[in-house]
Amino acid sequence: MLQNPLQREEGFRLLVNVYKKRLYWHIRGLVLLHDDADDVLQNTFIKVFRNIGKFRADSALYTWMFRIATNESLSFLKSAAKKTNMSLELVQQERIRNLKSDPYFDGDELELSLQEAIVTLPERQQMVFRMKYFQDMKYEEMSELLGTSVGSLKASYHHARKKIEERIMKNAEG
């Protein structure tokens, strides 16, 4: 770890510039709203900065940062659920309703319908679906990030896609 504060600050600034966009979109996929994603991203980088000295390099730097971002996002959502005395699923459904008024959301009704279907999935399937569908991640990269086998990820994605298709078709009929 760099001992010189100026070098450390410059190194951290470079780290932020390299990874902020990718981490933002991962976080945004979980918390949905732009302002909240910005807050969680900032908290993620604060944790990265404070803990970079503890990084053991037994995984890629992005993998370590991705896990911090994921944990920060899930903690944010669980905290929101606790504050409102609502289940995590209800909090996410409320966030989807608020998505329409988010000035940074440029989706249409089909996108909202997709988001509504995604939040009904178990947490792992949500994450796998978002990583594959929205971020076009390869299964091998997802396997490293999530610590799960490629086969398991393929199965999760398949089940998630099937459930989402069924839900969207059901909503379109009704």
Q: How far apart are CA 13 and CA 7, in angstroms?
A: 10
What are the distances in angstroms from CA 135 to CA 13, 86, 117, 130, 160? 24, 29, 18, 7, 15
Per-residue pLDDT for 103 more than 60? yes
Q: Model confidence over 15-44: pLDDT tens digits?
A: 999 999 999 999 998 898 899 999 999 999
Contact (Cβ atoms closer than 8 angstroms) between residue 69 and residue 22: no
φ, ψ for residue 121 (rounded to 5)?
A: -80, 155
Q: Model confidence over 42-59: pLDDT tens digits?
A: 999 999 999 988 888 877
Q: How far apart are CA 144 and CA 14, in angstroms?
A: 23
